[in-house]
Each structure stands twice: as C-alpha cells, then as structure tokens.
C-alpha cells in the first residue's frame, strides 16, 4: 500500500515560500486529475524539450499517449527520466506594490521514468482510461479502433517516483506600511467554463451530446463546480 504522502527530498522540496508546498497524494492527485493536459519535460542529446499533451492516471502511474513515431514518447518510453507538470490558474492577485502582485494557482510536479506499454490488453485498457477521463461512456458510442490505428498509437506509463504540489490562494500580502496606500487591492478571479456543444454539420438534426457529459466535465475540471 502506497504511503499517504510523497517523500520530501532534494527534487521535491519547495524552497521558495515552503509553506505553499504540499506532499500528500490526495492534494497532488486532485491537481493532476483535474488538469485537462500536462507538460512533459525531458532532455535529449543535451537539448531540453517541453511537450504539452493529454494524460490520464492509474494509481501512482501517469499515462501519456500519441503517435507511435512521436519523438517524445519514444524517448520517454525508453526509460529516460522526465518531469511532468500541471498548473491551474485561479486568480490575479492585485497588491498595493508591484513586488507583492501575484497569481493564485495550484500546481503539481511529478518525477519518474517511462516505459512503453506493449501488452495489447494493458494498452487497450490505457486507451479506455483516456476516453473515460475526458468523456465517460463515449467509448461505447463510437467506432472502435482498427488494428492499424491501434498499432499506430503508443502508450507510455510513467511510474511516479516523487511528486509535490505548490498552491497559492487568498488575498495579497501587502506590507503593513502599504495598507493605507490609495489604490485598490484584492483578487481578480479567473473562471473557466464549458460552452454549449457545437454540432458538426453532418450530425442529424435532433442528435445531441448526452447532457451528463457536460455535468461531468464541470465537476471534473472546473474548481468549485456545483
């Protein structure tokens, strides 16, 4: 059974404003699971790269997917170390001094090594989990993958070795002597929403996306959704 928190070590410890650091799995994985996509950072031949991509999670493993010739996936799947990050921006923090302006955010940083999934059943299960994370129930509504499509898709599993989260919330932290400065201070919330679905032109009249999908998306990916 996994520990409830990740170890605090040299690569996970939050050094700047350490009180914002969180190492418990619940906090880290809440940020991971509510992110639509992540950034995968790696080094190849001495050159740093960062790739934005979709992700899913199974316990302490992050799943990445893409075309079988994708350079990032081939590199990560060979066992090279990677760093994966997700960030939610929740508000612009407006202070009475430029120095104390900030952003309210929730971020997670994960470290591990990847492996290419070659077992067909494990790979298919991973693809199903990608579908379920984004659009639950959609897997059974669409044409299933052909053998060619399945072979052309690569799935990388990154076993999470270390992870931490960093969160900034609340009002600006003005200096005591700045409180009387005659200007507005506070937080400008950043709100994200899903719009009404727009049908592709050949969709028959009267055919709609299941409404519970939008409910799920709001609950899964939007903070404090009702």
Model's pTM, two decimal places? 0.91
pLDDT 10s digits, 1-38: 568 999 999 998 898 888 899 999 999 999 999 999 99
Structural domain contains residue 13: no
Instruction: Map tokens 């519970």 to a residue.
Output: 212
Q: For residues 111 and 81, is the Cβ–Cβ distance under 8 A?
A: yes
**Do residues 108 and 123 share a domain?**
yes
Q: What is the pLDDT of residues 170-211, one digit of tens each?
A: 999 999 999 999 999 999 999 989 999 999 999 999 999 999
175 Cβ contact list (under 8 Å, min separation 6): 96, 97, 100
The answer to whether position 12 is within a domain reads no
Range of the domain at 41: 18-190
pLDDT tens digits, 131-141: 999 999 999 99
- Across the chain, what does the average pLDDT equal? 93
Are 155 and 48 found together in one domain? yes
Residue 68: pLDDT band (50, 70, 90) is confident
Q: Looking at the 3D structure of the chain, how many domains does it have? A: 2
> Is there a single domain that holds both residue 35 and residue 136?
yes
């Amino acid at each position: 059974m996994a520990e409830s928190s990740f170890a605090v070590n040299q690569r996970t410890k939050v050094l700047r404003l350490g009180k914002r650091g969180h190492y418990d799995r619940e906090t880290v994985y809440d940020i991971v699971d509510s992110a639509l996509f992540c950034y995968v950072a790696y080094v190849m031949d001495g050159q740093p790269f960062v790739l934005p991509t979709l992700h899913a999670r199974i316990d302490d493993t992050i799943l990445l997917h893409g075309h079988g010739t994708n350079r990032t996936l081939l590199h990560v799947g060979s066992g090279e170390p990677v760093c994966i990050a997700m960030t939610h921006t929740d508000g612009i923090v407006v202070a009475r001094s430029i120095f104390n302006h900030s952003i309210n955010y929730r971020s997670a940083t994960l470290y591990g090594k990847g492996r290419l999934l070659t077992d067909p059943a494990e790979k298919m299960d991973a693809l199903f989990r990608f579908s379920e994370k984004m659009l639950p129930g959609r897997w059974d509504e669409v044409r299933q993958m052909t053998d060619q499509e399945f072979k052309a898709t690569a799935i990388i599993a990154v076993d999470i070795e270390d992870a931490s989260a960093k969160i900034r919330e609340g009002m600006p932290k003005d200096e005591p002597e700045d409180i009387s400065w005659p200007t507005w201070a506070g937080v400008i919330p950043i709100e994200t929403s899903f719009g009404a679905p727009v049908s592709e032109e050949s969709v028959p009249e009267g055919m709609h996306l299941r409404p519970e999908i939008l409910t799920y998306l709001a609950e899964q990916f939007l903070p404090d959704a009702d």
